[in-house]
Amino acid sequence: MDWLQGGPGFVVALMAVSYGAWVINNWIRAKHGYELEDEWGGKSAKSDTAETKRLREENRDLHDKLDAMQDRMIVLEKIVTDRGYSLSQEIEALRESRKDTGVPLELPRKEAH
């Protein structure tokens, strides 16, 4: 246990533990998509790949479509919940305004024996 008293072995062990902790820290950060640290504590961001750019574009397009669908849903909710909206009254109005303009077909009927 001579190295615990501040000899050169202690310094080497301390440096090894510090370096190992730095490597593990960067491994965890890389695994979860965070920026990595360099030796002096600065951050180095990952460059955007073509796949990342494509996914961001696709995500933006999907958000735009979702916003448009939400706007349409708001309009439909207003139509359905509007006080003046009465489906049965509209159906009855269509029935009353319908005129019998059809031409009857003169098909021979079969007699039951």
Which tens digit of pLDDT belongs to each residue from 54-111? 889 999 999 999 999 999 998 888 877 776 667 777 777 777 776 665 666 677 777 7
Q: Sign of the CA dihedral 65, 71, 72, 74?
A: positive
Which tens digit of pLDDT belongs to each residue from 8-49? 788 888 889 999 998 898 888 888 877 777 666 666 666 677
Task: Tell whether 42 and 52 lie within a shared domain.
Answer: no
How many domains are there within the chain? 2
In-domain check, residue 55: yes
In-domain check, residue 64: yes
Q: What domain range is 67 assigned to?
A: 48-97
Give residue 66's pLDDT. Answer: 96
Task: Tell whether 37 and 63 lie within a shared domain.
Answer: no
Dist CA 93 CA 113 (whole Å): 44
Task: Tell whether 14 and 36 lie within a shared domain.
Answer: yes
Give residue 101's pLDDT. Answer: 59
Task: Tell whether 14 and 30 lie within a shared domain.
Answer: yes
Q: Is the pLDDT of residue 3 over 60?
A: no
Task: Tell whether 86 and 65 lie within a shared domain.
Answer: yes
In-domain check, residue 13: yes
Q: What are phi and psi of 8, to 5 degrees?
A: -65, -30
Task: Tell whether 40 and 74 lie within a shared domain.
Answer: no
Looking at the chain, the number of H-run helices and the number of E-run strands are 3, 2
Task: Tell whether 29 and 19 lie within a shared domain.
Answer: yes
